[in-house]
Amino acid sequence: MIIKTHLNKLFSGKRVAILGFGREGRSTYTLLKHHVHGIKLMICDKNPHVRLPDDLTAGNEQIHISTGPGYLSGIAAADVIIKSPGIPFSVLDGISRKGVITSQTEIFLSLYRRQVTGITGTKGKSTTASLLYQILERGGKDVVLLGNIGVPCFDMTGSIGNDTVVVFEMSSHQLEGVKLSPSLAILLNIFEEHLDHYASYESYQQAKLNIVRWQAKGDLCIYNPKNNVLERLIPRLDTKSKTIMLGGNRSSDFYGNVFFDGEDLVCRLGDDVKRFSGLSRKRMLAGEHNLVNISAAVAAAVAKGVDAEVIEEVVGDFRGLPHRLEYAGSYRGVVFYNDSIATIPEATLAAVDALPDTATLILGGKDRGVHIESLMEELSQSGIYNFVFTGDAGERMMAMAEKMHAFRDKHLYMADSFDDAVTHAARITSPGKICLLSPAATSYDAFPDFEARGNRFKELVKTIPMY
């Protein structure tokens, strides 16, 4: 078994610290315990009540547990540290250690790099990964979907054969520090995000770029040059891979271009040119921003040899994912959309552009200090006339709006809670118009994640007839 041989070569006889014991850490533990001989494992997690494996037995000298305030105590003795993606590198600053730091992503790429299609971007990566997976699956490919979409890559090693296509949604945290890149990489965009995890916005950008930084000759890089950060940084990398551009320049200077010509999508890879007639009209995904996601998925599918007819069928059927411009129902004539995934200003503006009948917009959440000047300026010029704010981020947004002349004729309301925000927004929205949750902020002030926030929104709007 190749994976067992490879893992034993990397870790047999070594002391390995698993730093962070959430979903990915537990996945790492399971794989190493079952495949590597003579390994000494250290489980290190800040949470003193972290759920430990059921198969841990008292007195097992091969496994050392460090949790709570002293969870980094075992790091010094480790030969290898496998860091979970949610833990910043900064926690290791000043800690005495000799071990090499790696990650589940880097180990997985060392095994399967040539089979991996990696997808990243501040926004759109889950939609693109899911769409591509469905195209490949319907096209008869042996394919798995894993990564940031919710499935640790080590959980799927038993399902990967020599011909399996691995669609890997890769977050910046998973890419940070890796020294390998997938053979096919998709970079959709980079916007200001995760400033609470990285030392700077530039550090976040550089983490994202690892998806293409280490590509080899013959690999493919699909990226969006209309994103200002990518337009500036991708050419500086001077990678050996072939470049496929999404939209923008239609010249033949690159290996490929994918762009919309009216309602048609044109995909040129080398000398092969395919035209997907009326694809913009046939798609179910709303919004101009989703044209980029569709273009990226189509380019990757064509590169993998999927028939054009299959691609057209899946794009026409694909309705997107929950919490991403998700239709949440119509009550008392008011139409509700759940876009809880919109945790940055750019995503909110894309949602507003996609839904021009929006009358009421719910904004706010945890304030991470991202720039909101452009957001508020563009919203002030929009046709939206009701703005409902929540959380610390909402307080900053409302304070800025109150100082702007263009907001003077609009209704502004600061809610006491998220439930209050949704209730008020529903009541003031005119029948026939849209009430949109697209917060431009994370949910961590009141919810564990954007899914929980979106689900609460959908629960609340169903009760509106009772008000």
Give the model confidence (pLDDT) of 202-240 as tens digits.
Answer: 999 999 999 999 999 999 999 999 999 999 999 999 889
Residue 14 confidence (pLDDT) above 50: yes
Q: Which of 447, 440, 283 is nearest to 369 (CA)?
A: 440
**Per-residue exposure over 155-181, b if at least 16 CB sit within 10 Å of its own CB, e if not:** bbbeebeeeebbbbbbbbbbbbbbebb
Residues 203 and 304 in one domain: yes
pLDDT (mean) for 126-143: 98
pLDDT confidence of residue 466:
40
pLDDT at residue 54, rounded to an integer: 74
Helices 391-402, 373-380: axis angle to 10 degrees equals 60
Claim to verify: residue 191 and residue 293 sit in the same structural domain: yes
pLDDT tens for 101-126 read 999 999 999 999 999 999 999 999 99
pLDDT higher than threshold 70 for residue 61: no
Q: What b/e readout covers 385-404, taking b as 16+ CB neighbours within 10 angstroms? A: bbbbbbbebbebbbebbeee
pLDDT digits (tens, 9 = 90+) for 280-294: 999 999 899 999 999
pTM of the entire predicted model: 0.90
Range of the domain at 343: 326-466
- Give the amino acid at 433: K
CATH code, domain with 236: 3.40.1190.10
| Residue-averaged pLDDT of the chain | 94
Residue 448 makes CB contacts below 8 A (sequence gap 6+) with: none
The answer to which of 31-35, 272-276, 433-437 has the lowest mean pLDDT is 31-35
Contacts of 221 (CB under 8 A, 6+ apart): 185, 187, 212, 215, 234, 239, 241, 242, 243, 244
> What distance in Å separates the CA atoms of residue 165 and residue 304, rounded to the nearest whole number?
9
Residue 299 token pair? 């380019």
Question: What per-residue confidence (pLDDT) applies to 389?
Answer: 98
What is the C-alpha to C-alpha distance for residues 466 and 40, in angstroms, rounded to an integer? 59
Q: How many structural domains comprise the chain? A: 3
Amino acid at 116: V
Residues 210 and 80 in one domain: no
The rounded distance, in Å, linking the Cα atoms of 452 and 55 is 31
Taking residues 318-334, report their average pLDDT. Answer: 93
What gap in Å lies between CA 186 and CA 245, rounded to an integer?
Answer: 10
Q: Which of 82, 102, 122 is the last residue of a domain?
A: 102
State the pairing for strand pair 264-269/256-261: antiparallel
Same domain, 123 and 244: yes
pLDDT at position 60 is 60
Q: What is the CA radius of gyration of the chain?
A: 24
Identify the domain boundary among 81, 102, 123: 102
Same structural domain, 289 and 309: yes
Closest CA to 254 of 289, 288, 299, 298: 299
**Residue 371 pLDDT class (50, 70, 90 cuts):** very high
- Say if residue 384 is in the same domain as residue 280: no
Q: Is the pLDDT of residue 83 over 50?
A: yes
- Whether pLDDT at 249 is above 60: no
197 and 295, same domain (yes or no): yes
Judged by average pLDDT, the poorest of 62-66, 145-149, 212-216, 344-348 is 62-66
Q: Do 75 and 129 have their domain in common?
A: no
Q: Are residues 450 and 310 in the same domain?
A: no
- What is the rounded average pLDDT of the residues 123-141? 97
**Pairing outcome for strands 272-276 and 264-269:** antiparallel
Report the CATH number that the domain containing residue 25 is assigned in CATH.
3.40.50.720
Identify the band that residue 73 occupies on the pLDDT scale cut at 50, 70 and 90.
confident
* Statement to judge: residues 149 and 279 lie in one domain: yes
In the numeric block, which tokens belong to residue 101?
A: 């730091």
| pLDDT in the model for residue 96 | 83
pLDDT above 70 as % of the chain: 97
Structure confidence at residue 467 as a pLDDT band (50, 70, 90): very low
Q: Are 342 and 400 members of one domain?
A: yes
Structure-model confidence comparison of residues 74 and 394, the more confident one: 394
Residue finishing a domain among 268, 289, 317: 317
* Lowest-confidence pick of 58-72, 198-212, 338-352: 58-72
Question: Per-residue pLDDT averaged across 125-133, rounded?
Answer: 97
Least confident of 57-61, 106-110, 413-417: 57-61
178 with 130, same domain? Answer: yes
CA dist 103 to 24, 214, 261, 265, 459, Å? 10, 16, 42, 38, 38
186 and 119 Cβ atoms separated by less than 8 Å: yes
**CATH number of the domain to which 457 belongs:** 3.90.190.20
Is the distance from CB of 47 to CB of 171 less than 8 angstroms? no
